[in-house]
Amino acid sequence: MNAIPPSFTAAPGTPGAQSAEGAADADVRWAALADAANLVAWLAGLESDPVAREMHALPELIRSAEPWRRERAENGIADLVAIMEPGLAALIGVNARGVDPQPAALALWDEFAAAHAALLSLLPLEGATTADWGV
């Protein structure tokens, strides 16, 4: 959980605080998150690489957003990582035991897609909709 004060502004030096290093961290986290989402989609039996179309665009959209939007998007990415890490570990474990991971993977994919759509709604897409971005 992020330690955000009641004003919903991250203190300097916290994971949500904006800096050049924070932007680079968000890029790396998003790339890892997109890879994880693609694996979840594969386990769910969805099209291959559904996140690939916008994987490179989201970090740039975050960097070009207003500071308050950028901060919330970076926090949203951190929250998505917190959801996806244990979920993906559980799916891999289930799959390794020979159990069909598709129902659980679909549920995790739905969570990812909803959070991803919320992230995109924070960012100025100049007329694009979440449908344009593969979600």
Helix (H, G, I), strand (E, B) or coil at 3: coil
Mean pLDDT computed over 29-51: 83
15-19 — which CB contacts under 8 Å span 24+ positions?
A: 15/74, 15/75, 15/78, 16/71, 16/74, 16/75, 16/78, 17/71, 18/67, 18/70, 18/71, 18/74
Asked if residue 10 is part of any domain, the answer here is no
Q: Give the model's pLDDT for residue 98.
A: 95
- State the Cα–Cα distance between residues 31 and 25, nearest whole angstrom: 10
| pLDDT tens per residue, range 57-115 | 778 888 888 999 989 988 998 899 999 999 999 999 999 999 999 999 999 999 998 88
Task: Supply the range of the domain harboring residue 48.
Answer: 20-124
Asked if residue 72 is part of any domain, the answer here is yes
Asked if residue 100 is part of any domain, the answer here is yes
Asked if residue 45 is part of any domain, the answer here is yes
Q: Is the pLDDT of residue 10 over 50?
A: no
Per the structure, the count of domains in the chain is 1
Asked if residue 84 is part of any domain, the answer here is yes
Name the residue type at position 107. A
- Among 87, 32, 40, 21, smallest CA distance to 58 is for 32
The secondary structure of residue 17, as a DSSP letter, is S
Asked if residue 9 is part of any domain, the answer here is no
